Chain A
Amino acid sequence: MELDRREFIVATAVVSGGLGLSILPHSAESAAPAVIGRVNPRPWLPPTERGIEINPWIVIGPDDRVLIRVNQSDLGQGVLTSNPMMICDELGCDWSKVQSVYAEPNRHILQHNLYDHLHTEASSSVRLGRVLYQQAGASARERLKAAAAEVWQVPAAEIEVKDSILTHRPSGRTLRFGEVAARAAAIHLDHDPAIKTPEQYTLIGSRQRRFDIELKSRAQGVYGIDMRLPGMVYAAVRQSPSYGGKLKSYNFDAIRQMPGVIAAIPMDGIGPQSGIAVVADSWWRAKTALEKMPVNWDAGPDATRGTPDLVAAFRAKLGQEGPIAVDRGHFDSGMQDAAKTVEAEYVLSHQAHAQLEPPNCTAQVSADRAEIWFGTQEPDYATLIAAKLTGLPDAKVFVHNCFQGGGFGRGGLHGELQQAVTVAKRLNGRPVKVLWTREEDMAHDNGYHPMGVARLTAGLDRNGMPVAIRVRVAGNDALEQSDAPTGPLAGIIEYGPYKARMAHQLLRGFHLFPYAAQNLRVEVNTMRTWVPSSTWRSTGSYANVFYLESFIDELAHAAGRDPVAYRRALLEAADPSSFEDNAKPDWIKALDAVAAKSDWGRALPMGTGMGIAIDDRKSVAPRGIALSALVVTVSVSKAGAVKIERMNIVHDRGHALINPEAAERQIRGMMAWGLSPVFSQEITFKNATVEQSNFHQYEPVRMSDYPRDISLDFIQTNRWISGIGEEVVPLVAPAVCNAIYAATGKRIRSVPLRHHDLSWT
């Protein structure tokens, strides 16, 4: 356990360095015995001592224990279990002896991206990793076989592998993995073996308990916020309340004498704002002192602006032609043939991530070394940031990825890391934990989910079928903070017949329009504003699916058709090239499946209605889809209170879900994520300052809002689905609003619902 020892030595040096801090009082951490099982409570450390490294992913102990290194962050989606499943399906080891640990970011970087990637984003675990993991497992298995073949002097082809036992079929002799691991580690294969195809899987697709469940059920997992180091001090931080503002002055003398207070440290140019940190011997003392300290802010040039200004600026774009992404046929002449015109405008608010663990980061920076502890979706990027801020070489920066109290797309951004390093640099090697209040997190989410507006216009023929559709959207670029110059992480692309510049997340889904329309135009206005924006569980799909699935519902009703039958007819009539991966028949299959499951069309009492939405999460780049369809049944009281009665979900499982136990829980969890902005959640700005400060004003759904009746069924398709971490989120808002229309006749074109009067008589 090298890291443990290193931590101890560094910590001891700090304490004995005479910084004048008393050692922390008696720790009560030993009150409950730690569960040392499949994952260490500190997930960056292995659960037990090391064995023989077969390759960077696989370590085998003398007792056949297999340690799998995981190159992603477990945000609750279960990669500490499911990534090992993909490796071990090939390896042929005894699953009951498998453990996992996070891959080391420092080693990853020094060995030139040893693990290919360390980031966790956009539901990419299987998409980016599966072939890598299978190959690592298959190659290790063949090397173990070759090692046994050497021992026995027999052809490797005569050796079978199962449950960590190598068996020589003709003679019946056996060797355990642990007995040949050292020999296998020295063997080089001439070529990598072929990996299994889906029908050969034994572990992938089986239901496995997640390795972190017991730790988390006994509250023993170490989250970033739980880090404690000898001699550690604490920092409370505040950035300018208004966006674009900066620190003007502060008076440390006013708080210098308060108990435990050590220092006030200004942080120029950190993140979107500048700010101030107060350091003390406990976080509560630091926070209390910071609140008492007089601080003056220069409010900045945007200080009078707010959400109404943003909405007005965005909506102004909807009255004029914007950058054209799709231009099929002739929209204007198509409209001249229309028997009926339908037009609707939609608005969506900013959203915060509000992951339950407030942003925090523990850092220790000395002249020749930096150690960082926090939960992050990008430990490699964090290493590079810390190296840059400290001026240390990458080799001297060690990021320890802790358990993380929620990611949801926020975790890749690192304001708290930048602050912790900046403060730690001033503390001569003493470790410091920076922790934000919830109010600070609401006010300074490193990037909010973009707000957006859209105007959709359609001309219908005498049968109610669209002859022309125009989609005009305006929204923030979710990836405007991205450093990536090109590729899927770069926000801006040139797209369409006129090579127009736009944010690909704002185009997402409309680039392959699934419903038949011979004349189609899509225009995308990419807005740059003073509000930092970022990825958020489902990102661009969240807005575009709301617009499209709401509008198609409006068209169905304008045409006097049933919304499911209308969608089905439009899908049937669509050109197959309008679908990625030949998915047209799968869309129809999913639509039929969810209609059947929900008993669509059955008679419902007044005030109760069903609404549908469907999408496949396609992206301009990278490729890959995951089809899902949702029917929501709502009841609306005469006073206008909405209750979710039932949610019927149909999801594409493709070739396989790696671990259905984890995948199904994620999908059901997405219902809560999707319902929160429907009922109540939104971020608004006044005087360039966020108006919501805590969960009384930014209200996620709770148990009482969460439907008791949820069904989840899968359709099998001939593809690997693109992901399962966020795919159903975009369906929730349009399905609910379509259901409210069915129940009340009220068409809702923006959420949250609390802004609308839904009462009926």
Chain B
Amino acid sequence: MVTLNINGRRYDADAEPETPLLWVLRDTLGLTGTKFGCGAGLCGACSVHIDGQVMRSCMIAASQAAGKQITTIESIAADQNHPVVTAWIEHQVPQCGYCQAGQIMAATALLRRNSNPTDDDIDTAMTNICRCGSYGDIRAAVHKAAALMKG
């Protein structure tokens, strides 16, 4: 049993402590917005925030995340006016859409520490794989979200 704080709520998850957080989120708790892409920290589809930092949940044991504030895409998406989600919709970023939860988590973390990222900043921070090649739209949406956050 692992106790986790996810999106401001406490969960007792029936899983071995060494189970990657990704699988506790998806299979034990049913939070399937966080996606599995590689299982090796290479693609970013499973990105979540842990204590405000973007992390790849396939590489973190559930026990390592215990006692920390975990934020998943479900929390971001529930905000009807979230600037990153709003920008994603406005720029019609998703194609197949599978990587986009991870992309949005990466973008949200980037904008939290850098409210006005340059293209170079985006290149450095946004390393998630998109097989459909939506990179240009992601770049535009990150700039748009930055503008929305300035209000």
Q: Which residue of B9, B123, B129, B138 is within 8 Å of A695 (Cβ)?
A: B129
Residues of A within 8 A of B23 (CB): 282-284
Which of chain A's residues have a CB closer than 8 A to the CB of B13? 25
Shortest distance in angstroms between A445's beta carbon and chain B's nearest beta carbon? 13
Q: Report whether B133 and A405 are in contact in the complex, using a CB–CB cutoff of 8 Å.
A: no
B6–A28 contact, CB under 8 A? yes
| Contact flag A217-B88 (CB < 8 Å), given A356-B131, A438-B40 | yes
List of B residues within 8 angstroms of A218 by Cβ: 73, 77, 85
**Does more than half of chain A's interface fall in helix, strand or loop, or is it mixed?**
loop
Contact assessment for A703 and B133 in the assembled complex, using a CB-CB cutoff below 8 Å: no
Specify which of B32, B89, B129 is in contact with A702 (CB 8 Å cutoff).
B129
Known: A25-B28, A219-B74, A704-B123. A209 touches B92 (CB 8 A): yes
Partner of A694, one of B40, B131, B135: B40
Count contacts on A: residues with CB < 8 A to the other chain.
70
| Residues 192-238 of A contacting B (Cβ, < 8 Å) | 209-210, 212-223, 225-226, 228, 234
B52 to chain A, nearest CB (A): 19
How far does the alpha carbon of A223 sit from the alpha carbon of B32 in the complex, in Å? 9
CA distance A285 to B31 in the complex (A): 18
Of A28, A76, A708, which contacts B31 at CB under 8 A?
A28
Taken together as a complex, chains A and B put the C-alpha atoms of A222 and B35 apart, in Å, by 11
Say whether B51 faces chain A, with CB atoms less than 8 Å apart.
no
Residues on B with beta carbons closer than 8 Å to the beta carbon of A312: none
| A76 and B132 form a contact (CB under 8 A) | yes
- Cβ of B19 < 8 Å from any Cβ of A? yes
Interface residues on B, range: 35 or more
Q: Is A654 an interface residue (CB 8 A)?
A: no
Residue ID in chain A nearest B82 by CB atoms: A218
Interface residues of A in 1-57 (CB under 8 A from B): 24-29, 31-33
B26 neighbours in A (Cβ, 8 Å): 226
Q: Given the complex of chains A and B, what is the CA–CA distance between A32 and B123 in angstroms? A: 30
Interface assignment of A133: CB less than 8 Å from any CB of chain B = no
Report whether A695 and B43 are in contact in the complex, using a CB–CB cutoff of 8 Å: yes
A76-B96 CB under 8 A given contacts A28-B29, A356-B37: yes
Assembled-state Cα–Cα distance A213/B134 (Å): 13
Nearest to B38 among chain A residues (CB) is: A438
Chain A residues within an 8 Å CB radius of B97 = 76, 212, 215-217, 221, 403, 405
Chain A residues, CB < 8 A from B45 = 356
- Across the interface, name the chain B residue whose C-beta is closest to A282: B27
Residues of A within 8 A of B94 (CB): 76, 212-213, 216-217
Q: Whose C-beta in chain B lies nearest to the C-beta of A29?
A: B30
Chain A residues contacting B96 (CB-CB under 8 Å) are 75-76, 355-357, 403-407
Q: Which residue of A lies closest to B22 (CB)?
A: A284
Partner of A673, one of B37, B88, B131: B131
Check A223 against B98 for contact (C-beta < 8 Å): yes
Render B78-93 as a binary contact track against A, CB cut-off 8 A, 1 for contact.
1000000100110011
Closest chain-B Cβ to A240's Cβ sits at a distance in Å of: 21
**Closest CB of chain B to A80's CB: distance in Å?**
11
A75 — nearest CB in chain B belongs to which residue? B96
Q: Nearest chain-A residue to B37 (Cβ)?
A: A356
Kindly list chain B residues whose C-beta atoms are within 8 Å of the C-beta of A25: 13-14, 28-29
Q: Contact check, B27 vs A234: say whether CB atoms are below 8 A apart.
A: yes
CB within 8 Å of B: which A385-444 residues = 403-408, 435, 437-439
> Judging by beta carbons under 8 Å apart, are B85 and A284 in contact?
no
Q: B-contacting residues of A (Cβ < 8 Å)?
A: 24-29, 31-33, 75-77, 209-210, 212-223, 225-226, 228, 234, 259, 282-285, 354-358, 403-408, 435, 437-439, 661, 665-666, 668-673, 694-696, 700-704, 706, 708, 710
Q: Which 3 A-B pairs have the closest CB atoms?
A: A672-B133, A76-B95, A405-B98
Subset of 12 A-B contacts with CB under 8 Å: A25-B14, A28-B29, A75-B95, A214-B89, A223-B35, A282-B15, A357-B35, A405-B99, A438-B38, A669-B133, A695-B43, A704-B123
Given contacts A33-B78, A219-B100, A234-B27, 4 further A-B contacts (CB under 8 A): A221-B97, A407-B96, A670-B133, A702-B127
